[in-house]
Chains A and B, each alone.
Chain A
Amino acid sequence: MKYIDEFRDSNIAQKIADRICAEVDPARQYSFMEFCGGHTHAIARYGVSELLPANVRMIHGPGCPVCVLPIGRIDHALTLALERNVIVCTYGDTMRVPASGGMSLIKAKARGGDIRMVYSASDALRIAQENPDREVVFFAIGFETTTPPTALVIRNAQACGLANFSVLCCHVLTPSAITHIFESPEVREYGTIPIDGFIGPAHVSIVIGSQPYVQFVEQYRKPVVIAGFEPLDVMQAILMLIRQVNEGRSDVENEFARAVTAHGNVTAQALVSEVFELRPSFEWRGLGEVPYSALRIRPMFARFDAERRYDLVYKPVPDNKACECGAILRGVKKPTDCKIFGTVCTPENPMGSCMVSSEGACAAHYSYGRFKDSAVVIA
């Protein structure tokens, strides 16, 4: 594939790996957090960690949209599908996220709930137009990447006076999640997560630009390198982080310059602020309530807000007690530190959200990396 294979070239990968090996200080440990699930997936799928020296450790961050979706929000979608006879449209991997009482959207579908997987928000709008006698709700999740399309369909729905369409808005914000990790006691006080730097989001940064990260590096003195989702992007970003650490610098650098600018997609930002406003607080799975970390629909678009339309009241639901997703999402624990990893909790039967999407730290390790946990003889 043109423009893609170039970013998966094994010869270049080996060259970057050689540079990394040559430049790391063998006397120290390097711990970097990749914020995005897209990076977690790329690292696992292409076997990037195999190419890194033993003293470079990647910590998987909370940037997996389905992983941070709290149970209470999925319960809302389930209520709409099963009790209000609504057509619920949702992105693919949201279907399997475990909710209350062992339910999930995929199980609700098997029980007769009309739940449809869509590839884009505009597909949900089309379903509403094609089914004028049914109520259609788009279950809108994700970071800044998926927010502008949701804003656009809300505006379009208003423009064409669509009466049977609304949006269950669960969009969250990347910068507040990064702040939350920096402010967590494990990072700030105990130093139990020694984060030396961040690989900054790819697609999110296309929308928000590189500027928002400047405050982090100034405030927390940790380098951020924005990187694309291809494996060579990740390798190059790791090399750039190592150089910053070695030189004692904390800068925002942009490896993904082919797509990310300083100020991002200003049109998309304007669209988002026209339709959405900040929520004072929002529960994240694993991180708990995070102030000003999510968006809700502005009052002028209230008729398209499913929370208002169906009088949904948010009830937080605690995760399974044995599940370590919270600590894993904050980088405090590794998937293999969890007692139920790979035994009770598997991709077939996920207990925690990190086991759901292949972007989740647990699912990525289970599906792509668990062979490393046991000695294997190659014939």
Chain B
Amino acid sequence: MGHGAGGRASAQLIEELFLAAFDNEWLRQGNDQASFAAPLGRMVMATDAHVVSPLFFPGGDIGCLSVHGTINDVAMSGAQPLYLSASFIIEEGFPLSELKRIVDSMAQASRAAGVPIITGDTKVVERGKGDGVFITTTGVGVIPPGIVIDGAGARPGDAIFVSGTVGDHGVAIMSKRESLTFETEIRSDTAALHGLVAHMLAAVPAIHVLRDPTRGGLATTLNEIAKQSGVGMELDEAAIPIASQVDAACEFLGLDPLYVANEGKLMAICAPESAELLLSTMRSHPLGINAARIGTVTDDPHGFVQMRTRFGGRRMVDWLSGEQLPRIC
């Protein structure tokens, strides 16, 4: 508990672990806040609390996830992310070696993304009152002039895209859950998407909607956009990219991959005349190789997301109600 009490132990933890890993000019000043010059233009701010079990999973850990998640939330406005803050709630007795692994992973993710962590905080809670470690990150960014991306921006006739295979992150996590271990080579897709976004906006500045389909998966994100924009959608099931291992795991577990979480994918909507250019641009970026056009925005006052099934029928892709629970039969 001493590490969170604000005394010498806290200072030591901050200096030896966090400062050493995140090292940058703002943290080195040792103030309770970071001051930086604000660029001109519209600023964006997003925050995300990260709780994940298990903390380490194939393809990532809570550390890089907490960096990518917030960068992506900022980037989905079209903004260039600039700075991050990070706060840690650590359960008493959590092994320092694991904390170091997590912090190093955050530092690496933040450096690779070019978005420094410039301020932070640490608290320690009694044993049993936390689940190892919780990390909240906040990010700020600036939107380039002329870019207007909004969840309410979808228009009938617009084309809908996804940047790659869906459900990878959720299946990677599930495969390591205590109650449900199974063998798979699927790795979390956790990645910072601001580079892909900038690449897309350079080709098609008039993208209408961008969103990362995290919790609740692609289906939930599409329903959110349909509601916000007051439109319907018509998807083509055969066009939605799903890795065969993810498909098989979901089949086995009785889950629908469209509702499984992603951490390194985005969904984009643009006018039909820009559709081909946007798709080829996405595919020319390393994080968009498997991008696909998956459907069309429709005029529907009910806001229904419908799908032509691969089987040749038609059904709705509804909001997820509560958690996705496996069927018994």
Contact = CB atoms under 8 A, between A and B. Distances in A.
Interface in A324-340: none
A92 interface: yes
Given A48-B313, A92-B254, A378 B234 contact: yes
Contacts of A92: 254, 325-328
- Count chain A CB atoms within 10 A of each CB in B232, B311, B327 and give the residue with the most: B311
Nearest to B180: A119
Nearest to B244: A1
6 contacts: A37-B327, A48-B311, A119-B179, A359-B329, A370-B304, A379-B297
B79 to A, nearest CB: 30
A378 to B, nearest CB: 5
Nearest to A231: B311
A229 B251 CA distance: 12
Interface centre among B296, B299, B313, B328 (most CB of A within 10 A): B328
Interface of B: 156-157, 179-180, 232, 234, 244, 247-248, 251, 253-254, 296-300, 302, 304, 306, 309-316, 318, 321-322, 325-329
A4 B253 CA distance: 15
A115 B300 CA distance: 41
A378 B299 CA distance: 6
B275 to A, nearest CB: 14
Contacts, number: 126
Interface in A119-173: 119, 123, 141-143, 145-146
A49 B300 CA distance: 22
Nearest to B328: A91
Contacts of B327: 37-38, 41, 92-93, 357-359
Given A47-B312, A123-B179, A379-B156, A366 B299 contact: no
Interface stretch (A7-15, A243-251, A264-272): A7-15
Contacts of B234: 378
Interface of A: 1, 4, 8, 10, 13-14, 17, 36-38, 41, 44-51, 65-66, 91-96, 106, 116-119, 123, 141-143, 145-146, 203, 229, 231, 346-348, 357-359, 366-371, 374, 376-379
A146 B327 CA distance: 12
A96 B324 CA distance: 11
Given A376-B302, A379-B157, A379-B299, A51 B313 contact: yes
B300 to A, nearest CB: 5
Contacts of B313: 46-51, 231
Chain B interface, DSSP helix/strand/loop, else mixed: loop
Contacts of A374: 302
Contacts of A376: 232, 298, 300, 302, 304, 306
A346 B318 CA distance: 12
B314 A47 contact: yes
Residue of A66, A118, A358, A376 with highest tally of chain B CB at under 10 A? A376
A47 B254 contact: no
B296 A379 contact: yes
A145 B254 CA distance: 16
A341 to B, nearest CB: 14
Given A1-B244, A346-B321, A37 B314 contact: no
Contact of B316 (A116, A123, A203, A369): A369
Contacts of A146: 328
Given A368-B318, A379-B157, A116 B309 contact: no
A338 B266 CA distance: 39
Nearest to B182: A119
A6 to B, nearest CB: 12
A370 B316 contact: yes
A378 B328 contact: no
B325 A44 contact: no
Given A378-B234, A379-B299, A13 B329 contact: no
